[in-house]
Amino acid sequence: MSLLTATQLTKRFGGVVAVNEVDLSVGSGQICGLIGPNGSGKTTLVNVITGIYKPTTGTVAFEGRPIHNRPPHEICALGVGRTFQNIRLLLTLSVFDNIRLGAHIHIRSTLWDVLLQTRKLRQEEKEVADRIDTVLDFTGLRQYRNELARNLPYGRQKVVEIARALMARPKLLLLDEPAAGLNSNEKGNLITLLRKIRESGVSILLIEHEMALVEALSDHVFVLNYGKKISQGPFSEIQRDSTVIEAYLGRGGSHA
Amino acid sequence: MAKLAYLKRIGATPAIFLVLALIPLTGIPSYQFYILERGLQNVLVVLSLVILLGYTGQLSLGQAGLVAVGAYTYGILCVNYGISPWLGLLAAPFAAGLVGLILGFPSFKLKGPFLVVNTIAFSEIVRILILNNENFTGGPFGLNRIPTIFNGLPLYYFMLVVAFLAAVGTLRLSRSYIGLAFKAIRDDEIAAESMGVHVRNYKLLAFVISSVLAGLSGVFFANMAGYLNPDSFTFNESSTYLLMVVLGGMSNAAGGILSSFAVTSLPEALRFMARRRMVVYSIILLVMLRYTKVLEIENFKRLIRRMRPVPAPASAPAVDRDEVNS
């Protein structure tokens, strides 16, 4: 059964149709790729799914429930995690605190627990701290635990974003260009990490320009161009699809 | 070692309050004692701004309006309705919190300078309402003979206890998930809401907590002066509060407490200069701002280190400043 289903999703900004009647679905346990040239509407699509934008028309359903009219924090609480294309970490805070933010939706302590430092709060804080350490080990960030986020190299910051999203225990993870700006070594580590995440039972929608990554990971690939879905299927089929090749390279052949 | 870590964790705040508790025992003259009391009253407003501006990133230049709401709620209830000062003490922060809740709503849409203008307008409206509802507030003639909770030294120690509790609460808030949500809103609202933070509710919470503290400060003002007049709650006061919190390092409670005493007493200490006083006052403030946040403990330590040349230690792990040194 599919975890996330977008139906006839459209987002207009004035006269610009950024996303145009896109159908898309991510199955449970799948890694789906979302590719397309720059400006094809991939990030807008993710922002609509996560509630940052309201769709102009169309629906998004998560586990069968419509989510397109819900605010971002509720969508997060339902189990949709995400990372950002331009890193959005809390740069003045430590890596530990950045990841701690991911636990926000699971915290049950109240303001009174905080002011009175009740046992409930301390217990909960200890559980969160333990889980942060688990996530730090899982993502290989242990050594940066107390470092300020802004002092980390770019590639590590991207991993902190993934760790923060994992901390919320999402069922679906939307990754917006996680490999952009990484060196080949870091890309290799990223592939391993994303496989580990899938094995732990989290589905992934992967936006990526790095075709090697999409090829290595995706069960299914959607291709966008000018906001429209132009193709979908396994990577090997997409690769040979003439409309896809045309979108990336332009119409060729006849001039040759 | 564990003891040292503990001391580091509780930080400078208890030490500052211990000193504050000892100062009156030295038998300082009554005028200096009054300045000390004023500083203590300002501490509550500074803490309110540490939470609102330092943690949550919402700049308010209308804190004086909230102080006025607290002071006048207390004054009107006690003078016009003959309610017990203790009940007034509870009612005033409640009223201020309610007003703060309403003041928080525009922060959903307004950012930066727009929000600031909004808070300035708010405090002006409060001041003008007080000025023009004469049979209620005494208008420009003020509200006289306000009954007090305590007087003199007991009042000072009562304020000290309340301020200490407020400071401890602020620090606990800062370390907690609530403080983290506030800081997430300050640093990146979109990241915050994408991680499940209900941005609107947390902004309102910050405004309410901040207003409650400002309202309490108003009650103390009424207790110290025994008389209220709208001239005590002008834009000038609001900007002084902002100055205190900026000098203290914005998100640093201990720094804010120190700077509220420093900024309160500086013009008094310079009184012997007569007409040149405000010029010198401004210059000193500018110099302090240039060597920013000297009052922040961490920077103060750094300054001392720089004065005593020692080989640079191996880089210590960086820790969120506002949590450790407060």
**Would you call B228 helix, strand, or coil by DSSP?**
strand
Which of A114, A157, A171 is best to mutate for the B interface (most B CBs within 10 A)? A114
Q: Is residue B32 exposed (0-12), middle (13-18) or buried (19+ Cβ within 10 Å)?
A: middle
β-strands A31-35, A220-225 pairing = parallel
Q: What is the CA radius of gyration of chain A?
A: 19
**Chain Cα centroid distance, residue B21:** 19
A56 neighbors A113 (Cβ within 8 angstroms): no
Non-local (6+) Cβ contacts of B4 within 8 A are none
Q: Which residue of A has its CA nearest to B165?
A: A115
A179 neighbors A210 (Cβ within 8 angstroms): yes
β-strands A2-13, A65-66 pairing = unpaired
- Among A91, A147, A164, the residue with its CB nearest the CB of B195 is A164
**Complex ipTM, two decimals?**
0.93
Non-local (6+) Cβ contacts of A210 within 8 A are A179, A180, A187
Q: What's the rounded Cα separation, in Å, for the pair B311 and B62?
A: 47
Q: What does the pLDDT read at residue B60?
A: 92
φ, ψ for residue B228 (rounded to 5)?
A: -125, 140
β-strands A172-176, A80-82 pairing = parallel
pLDDT, one tens digit per residue, over A70-100 is 999 999 999 999 999 999 999 989 999 999 9
Query: Helices B253-269 and B235-247, interaxial angle, to 10°?
Result: 120
Contacts B176 to A, Cβ<8 Å: 109, 114, 121, 125
Structure tokens at B189: 């609202």
Contacts B180 to A, Cβ<8 Å: 93, 97, 100-101, 104
Q: Is the pLDDT of residue A132 over 50?
A: yes
Is the Cβ pair A100, B180 closer than 8 Å? Answer: yes
Is the Cβ pair B184, A76 closer than 8 Å? Answer: no
Amino acid identity of residue A189, one-letter, is N
**Would you call A94 helix, strand, or coil by DSSP?**
strand
Structure tokens at B76: 């009107």
B213 neighbors B45 (Cβ within 8 angstroms): yes
**Chain Cα centroid distance, residue B297:** 18
User: Edge-to-edge strands of the sheet including A65-66?
Assistant: A16-27, A2-13, A57-62, A65-66
Q: What's the rounded Cα separation, in Å, for the pair B238 and B210?
A: 14
CA distance to B85, B87, B177, B286, per residue, from B153 (Å): 17, 21, 38, 34
Which of B174, B176, B195 is best to mutate for the A interface (most A CBs within 10 A)? B195
Structure tokens at A97: 């605190």
Is the Cβ pair A90, B205 closer than 8 Å? Answer: no
Percentage of residues in chain A having pLDDT higher than 90: 89
Q: Is the pLDDT of residue A134 over 90?
A: yes
**Greatest alpha-carbon span in chain A:** 76
Is the Cβ pair B318, A146 closer than 8 Å? Answer: yes
A residues 67..86 contacting B (CB < 8 A) = 71-73, 76-77, 82, 84
Ranges of chain B whose pLDDT falls below 50: 1, 312-321, 323-326
Non-local (6+) Cβ contacts of B117 within 8 A are none
> Nearest-CA distance from A115 to chain B in Å?
6
- In the DSSP assignment, the letter for residue B94 is H
Contacts B192 to A, Cβ<8 Å: 101
Is the Cβ pair A104, B197 closer than 8 Å? Answer: yes
